[in-house]
Amino acid sequence: MNAQFEKFAAPIKEINDLTVKNFETVIGLQLKSVEENAKIGIEQAKSATEIKDADGWKSYLNAQAEITQQYNDKLVESTKNVVELGNAYSNEIQRIVKEAFTVK
């Protein structure tokens, strides 16, 4: 009876372990993103307080365009990472389920 339970529980445990690992990775990515965005926001707020004239305003706006481009690039990269993570997770779940229900 115990062996039957272990056979039944093993794939569930493997899926749970995979889910926790995946969740930790996604949360880590989100925390990193929040920290980076907060730093950028603070830096930009500080830069805005240093504007003294029209040239300073122009420089600030040019920097904003560059920062926006960098942000967009990071967003695309982060999105690709999350999609790859999701695909890998899905593939692993499929493998576990297939192995669990394959008649041996």
- Give the pLDDT score at 3: 82
Q: Give me the amino acid identity at 83.
A: V
Q: Write the pLDDT tens digit of every residue in 53-101.
A: 999 999 999 999 999 999 999 999 999 999 999 999 999 999 999 998 8
Pick from 48, 46, 41: which is nearest to 67 by CA?
41
Confidence label for 35 from pLDDT (cuts 50, 70 and 90):
very high
Pick from 29, 14, 15, 22: which is nearest to 75 by CA?
29
Question: Does the pTM of the predicted model rise above 0.75?
Answer: yes
Say how far apart CA 31 and CA 33 lie, in whole Å. Answer: 5
Please state the domain count of the chain. Answer: 1
- Provide the residue range defining the domain that includes 7: 2-29+36-101
Confidence label for 1 from pLDDT (cuts 50, 70 and 90):
low
Dmax over Cα atoms in the chain, in whole Å?
81
For residues 16-30, give the mean pLDDT.
96
